[in-house]
Chains A and B, each alone.
Chain A
Amino acid sequence: MNQAAHKDYAGAKLGMWLFLFTEILLFSGLFLLYSSYLSRYPREFTAAGREMHVGFGTLNTVILITSSLLVAMAVTAIQRNERRNVLLLLGGTILCAATFLFNKYLEWSAEIGNGIYPGSPRLANGPPGESVFYSLYYLTVGLHGLHVLIGGTFLTLVAVRVKRGTVHGGDFVLLENSALYWHLVDLIWIFIFPLYYLIL
């Protein structure tokens, strides 16, 4: 059967893009809640937004944008069969992912230490809109963090295959698809950042 003879590169890419659409829609449920509650509690959202650590948020934004650059360069590199560069660039991307997660850990430790977490007494005693803001914050950023972890894992698995030579200049759709997934993680953060950190 000649259909199976060569892998369908365009089909694999189409499949990945369709999967990315589902991820966008998954987060859109949370954005739907955010926008609805923002229109109901504009002042409380603004007040809560001012408590957010803009420094951490901006740093993480820069880290993710840079990680996107690195993984995009990795795709270019594999198309040029520059195997060593691919591994370095992928390594850089994964390092960015790890740094992002570490920053998140620091940020959340500080916030939880301040009594800001879902169901906390401080939020229970505060205005209702504030509690809603923070619950959405933890859920959205938490779900995003999970995707950073998943994306980082994909990239690691692909890097192993690049090292082994099973992903190479003639057949790199796995790398390209993992890069697409990684860019999605960046895209979601591009919207999380202004909505949660810059709503001042």
Chain B
Amino acid sequence: MTTVQPASTSFWNDTGKTGITSWIFSTDHKRIGLLYFYSTFGFFLVGVLLGLLLRIELMAPGRTIMGPETYNATFTVHGVVMIFLFIIPGMPGAFGNLVMPIQIGARDVAFPRLNLFSWWLYAVGAVVVLTSLFTGGGPPDTGWTFYVPFSARTGTNVSLAVLGVFVIGFSSILTGINFVTTIHRLRAEGMTWGRLPLFVWSIYATAWVQILATPILGITLVLIMAERILGAGLFDPGRGGDPIMYQHLFWIYSHPAVYIMILPAMGVISDVIPVFARKPIFGYKMIAFSSLAIAAAGSLVWGHHMYTSGMSDTAILVFSFLTFVVAIPSAIKVFNWVSTLYKGSISLEAPMLFALSFILLFSIGGLTGLILGAAATDIHVHDTHFVVGHFHYVMFGGTGFAFFSAMHYWLPKFYGRKYAEKPAVIAWALMFTGFNILYFSMMVLGIKGMPRRYYDYLPEFAPLNLVSTIGSWILAVGLVIMLANLFRGLFRGEPVGNNPWGGATLEWSIPTPPPTENFDREPVVTHGPYDFTKAGVP
């Protein structure tokens, strides 16, 4: 067996350009993907730090390490950073850019310069958001939802923060446009819609949500600035406005936004499970269809964030019913993933461990979503820690763990080297344990009545809060081990060949790391994405 070596020329060095300018002015989707990866992941770590600080404060009743105003700012910035600077741009921007064009057999995306411009918009928006934290009235303290009337009146630097998010939103829109056009126009010969990897289907559905929903966020943010700066009074009851109208506008985007967050993650799982079970995916068509269905149905349910706001009973009924409908396509995916595993030849390497735990954690998150989606039960748990537990299960246990799976699955392809398996498994085990201790406690606390976004709480909630904080430390340790192992591996680990995992999708058919052009001649596709036999990878 010959020793494997990464290719000596690849996108890392085959353009002849070097230095930082060859990265930040590159129109190569792989370089842009890595730019997104490092910037968004960097912000993830900032968000983790803020989260850990929040948990230290909540470890015991009363003041622990910060005062109430600081606490408000900390959970606001934690949310804004995690949602707008990590999750929403991260999955499509990093792995969508790195992998999708290769998976469809293309050289690059439809509009490479627009792609670079999208990243620059993200970077500028992020800088504006960061600036807002340290200037003017200080970091916003409204929660990431910026509800009026408080967001219109607070002295903190809401306008600048919101402007930064607006710029990032524009980046998201342009990425969506780029990806839809790419998938429609640049598929290689033989790459029919029915042969697309499910990750591509998920990126496609996500791109549609980015195109159709993000503009509403744009106008909503403009309206916040208009309330604050122009005194427009559109949401001010004293002048005829209605604060609930703000909530409608905000959630019309922000509910579909959670599908921007979860759909690519589900796409990763759909790609990883067949490879590590050595079995074609069960129900390909239904999984592809369900991605579109989730995007569509997910755009109809925003009112379920507003059951206690003063909305009409008719609206409560309609939105509650539709929320149950949107659970169905998600469940279809879960059933199909599990069916894929049945009688498969399962190997539990790191990408698979994260993918399997995704199924469990996402399901818990999804089921608790139904408790929230049913209006009657929601009354009890609305704005409690139950909600916080729910969304962390889907966004962290779901998208977060899928992101980690993708990191272990795909980054070795782009670096030519791989992490060590044993520390990765230990890290995963610590993270899985810490995660559940951290967030399951919150769900119990929520049902017992502990509100969210409260600086202090009743003494009866103290024990579980302490338990939750300890969970956060276990999770953090696991995270550190995972990152140390992964990055050590990518830069100094075992070299990998073209197809270390035995995948049948196109990215595994080209050299490791890939050349800038991806393919030396346009591929002609003759088999499906999970047809291991035809791809020659038993």
Contact = CB atoms under 8 A, between A and B. Distances in A.
B211 to A, nearest CB: 6
A131 B216 contact: no
A107 B213 CA distance: 33
A1 B112 CA distance: 15
B212 A29 contact: no
Interface stretch (B58-66, B180-188, B265-273, B444-452): B180-188
Interface residues of A, number: 42
B463 interface: no
Given A2-B522, A128-B239, A132-B239, A36 B185 contact: no
B226 interface: yes
Nearest to B170: A22
Interface stretch (B195-203, B240-248, B503-511): B240-248
Contacts of A138: 230, 232
Interface in A121-176: 123-124, 127-132, 135-136, 138-139, 143
A8 B216 contact: no
Contact residues on B (Cβ < 8 Å of other chain), bracket: 35 or more
Overall SS of chain A's interface:
helix
B218 interface: yes
A11 B109 CA distance: 11
B211 A1 contact: no
B468 interface: no
A18 interface: yes
B502 interface: no
Given A14-B185, A32-B249, A143-B222, A132 B111 contact: no
A132 B248 contact: no
Given A15-B110, A29-B216, A128-B240, A135 B177 contact: no
A30 B240 contact: no
Contacts of B220: 29
Interface of B: 106-107, 110-111, 114, 173, 176-178, 180-181, 184-186, 211-216, 218-220, 222-223, 226, 230-234, 238-242, 245, 248-249, 252, 517, 519, 521-522
A132 B249 contact: no
A3 interface: yes
Contacts of B185: 8, 10-11, 14
Given A14-B184, A21-B212, 11 more contacts: A1-B517, A2-B522, A15-B177, A23-B215, A29-B218, A29-B252, A37-B245, A124-B239, A135-B234, A138-B232, A139-B222
Contacts of A130: 240
A29 B517 contact: no
A41 B226 CA distance: 21
A69 interface: no
A28 B216 CA distance: 8
25 contacts: A1-B107, A1-B519, A1-B522, A11-B185, A14-B185, A15-B114, A15-B177, A18-B211, A22-B214, A25-B213, A25-B216, A27-B219, A29-B223, A32-B248, A36-B245, A37-B242, A44-B240, A118-B226, A118-B230, A118-B233, A119-B233, A127-B240, A132-B240, A135-B233, A139-B222
B393 to A, nearest CB: 30
Given A1-B107, A3-B107, A41-B240, A29 B219 contact: yes
Given A26-B215, A132-B240, A119 B230 contact: yes
A127 B240 CA distance: 8
